Amino acid sequence: MTGGWRIDERKGAASELHASWPAVDAAPGVRAVALCRVTAPAVVLGSTQSESVVDRRRAGAAGISVARRRSGGGAVLVTADDPVWIDVWIPSGDPLWHADVERAFDWIGSAWASALGSAGLEGLSAHREGSAACTRWSKLVCFGGVGAGEVVTGDGRKIVGLAQRRNRHGAWFHGACVLRWDPALLVDLLDLPEAERNEATADLAAAVAGVADLVEAAGGTAPDASTVAAWLIAALP
């Protein structure tokens, strides 16, 4: 426990990490935060996406599995260290709890923006105006749009994606912070015509920024997943 938060580091298949959180199941009344690391890369689909959006032949050849989360949004490619996957649990009735699903993201978006300010990044902000499509691929790819609480750079590029699922005990937030952004890694696994694959890669390349890339461009030392997790934990209320 640190500052009233249970701190976990979780490892496993993406499907296992999304299926349950044992520490929260055992003590749902305790705030919790976890750095999640997958043991094998996977494309994680949103709750309403069809598995047909993934080209199974390409994914199989690349050794990448397909998993599903119970929260909405588009597809995300997860590897052991990128994006930095951090889950947060807030019990219902907690001072940070908010009944409004969109307003519930306010505090965690602010915490992420503050945390990444520790890297010396300026101009970051948490999106406050509902969902917005920053590319035509927003329904297909998580980082193709910006939702409530998600963190963007001063020029509008997305840097942290958020999703939320709820039950009667509380809210489980998924956070994904990009370190190095190469949209082709995910786009190549999607079932798209070749021309659209090229368009998606170009559009998404311009819509997203990676923390490590930005820090290095500013002359700093690129952070790893553990460093980003420490920044976020320090920024939690």
Task: Please write the tens of the pLDDT for every residue from 19-72.
Answer: 999 999 999 999 999 999 999 999 999 999 999 999 999 999 999 999 999 999
| Residue 49 contacts residue 42 (beta carbons within 8 Å) | no
What amino acid occupies position 13?
A: A
CATH architecture of 6-235: 2-Layer Sandwich (3.30)
Check: pTM over 0.75? Answer yes or no.
yes
**Residue entry with tokens 């050794």:** 63
Tokens linked to 172: 């489980």
Task: Please write the tens of the pLDDT for every residue from 96-117.
Answer: 999 999 999 999 999 999 999 9
Domain chopping of the chain, boundaries: 6-235
